[in-house]
């Protein structure tokens, strides 16, 4: 039984047309889901009872459940969602005037082991299914009917390009005119630098912005904090990104997490200018957000100002991204399901 949120509109239409349903009925169903944020077939009052019963027999429509909720002093909201197999993920809603951003997870945990990131301490548990990705937007929008989600960033738990097929199909559903109809310019995939999948995305025809978690432009330093660099070093990554930029409409963004006494020295500035200076890009500087049991140190405002001054020679646009939701561990690099970790550890102990 396929989940209704895992199907693009053409797939839903094909299934129901084969059952003899009229096209206008199919449009009514899709409108209930993507315009009214209703996935309970029993509540679709302008559809006959017999068709509603048929829908319940044909499609799965179970949804993740909100397991925990926190609201930051800056109004950022973090939701822990419990999936059908009892796993937990986190998503973050970030309101900002007329811009409302949803930070979406693509995996339970992550295999990439970036040394500054809380999610990495979970290890990799599993990929999210298409419907579990789409459901995050569905749930967030239903919770905020007066605040339309304007932007989506795949910057939550997991490496999106390690779950390539499911993430791409979720993007197609979200961007579809009969889905959530979100503009490609309002969507961003963040990656630690999975080169084969960056190349695949470039050739896919999918329109979406790309952000690369760079964090060091010196191989020996990037090796330390991002083990993927040992497999896909900076020289190869740059070639891939130049090729990507040539095939797409949007500038590449580089996410650079500033870590005191590690990646903010003169040699780091020189390397960053050399790496990114000839790429059509923008650089987002992000202060490292504290993660328990990790020994890195956040820079002071003075450290950041000094770093920006030294970077002034670069041609790329530079912005300092203000951390949102750090008081509830909802900021960049802080997402982790502590209860899921405890749950997994308990299972392991019981199996010993």
Q: Are 219 and 275 in contact (CB under 8 A)?
A: no
CA separation, residue 301 to residues 258, 286, 307, 312, 322 (Å):
11, 12, 10, 17, 11
Strands (E), 8-157: 59-60, 65-71, 77-82, 88-96, 99-103, 107-109, 124-127, 151-154
By C-alpha distance, which of 111, 116, 157 is closest to 263? 116
Q: Which residues are catalytic?
A: 90, 332
Partnered with residue 187 across adjacent β-strands are: 152
User: Quick one: DSSP state of residue 211?
Assistant: E
What is d(CA 247, CA 244) in angstroms, rounded to the nearest whole number?
5
304 near 258, Cβ under 8 Å? yes
Helices 23-34 & 9-18 angle (0-180, nearest 10)? 140
Specify which residues 189 forms β-bridges with. Answer: 154, 210
């Amino acid at each position: 039984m396929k989940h209704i949120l895992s199907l693009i509109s053409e797939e839903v239409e094909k299934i129901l047309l084969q059952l003899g349903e009229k096209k206008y009925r199919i449009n009514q169903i899709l409108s209930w889901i993507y315009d009214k944020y209703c996935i309970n077939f029993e509540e679709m009052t302008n559809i006959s009872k017999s068709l509603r019963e048929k829908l319940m027999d044909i499609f799965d429509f179970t949804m993740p459940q909100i397991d925990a909720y926190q609201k930051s002093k800056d109004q950022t909201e973090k939701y822990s969602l419990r999936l059908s197999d009892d796993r937990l993920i986190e998503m973050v809603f970030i309101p900002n005037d007329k811009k409302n951003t949803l930070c979406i997870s693509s995996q339970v945990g992550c295999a990439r082991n970036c040394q500054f990131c809380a999610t990495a301490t979970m290890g990799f548990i599993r990929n999210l299914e298409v419907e579990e990705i789409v459901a995050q937007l569905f749930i967030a929008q239903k919770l905020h009917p007066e605040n339309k989600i304007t932007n989506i960033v795949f910057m939550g738990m997991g490496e999106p390009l390690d779950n390539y097929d499911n993430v791409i199909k979720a993007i197609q559903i979200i961007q579809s005119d009969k889905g959530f109809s979100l503009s490609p310019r309002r969507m961003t995939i963040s990656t630690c630098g999975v080169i084969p999948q960056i190349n695949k995305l470039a050739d896919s025809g999918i329109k979406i912005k790309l952000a690369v978690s760079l964090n060091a432009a010196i191989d020996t330093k990037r090796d330390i904090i991002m083990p993927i660099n040992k497999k896909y070093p900076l020289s190869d990554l740059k070639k891939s990104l130049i090729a990507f930029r040539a095939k797409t409409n949007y500038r590449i963004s580089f996410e650079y997490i500033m870590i005191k006494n590690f990646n903010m020295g003169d040699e780091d500035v020189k390397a960053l200018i050399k790496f990114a200076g000839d790429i059509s890009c923008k650089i987002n500087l992000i202060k490292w957000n504290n993660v328990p049991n990790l020994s890195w140190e956040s820079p002071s405002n003075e450290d950041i100002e000094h770093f920006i001054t030294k970077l002034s020679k670069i041609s790329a646009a530079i912005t300092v991204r203000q951390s949102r939701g750090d008081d509830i561990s909802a900021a960049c690099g802080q997402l982790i399901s502590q209860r899921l970790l405890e749950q997994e550890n308990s299972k392991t102990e019981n199996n010993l």
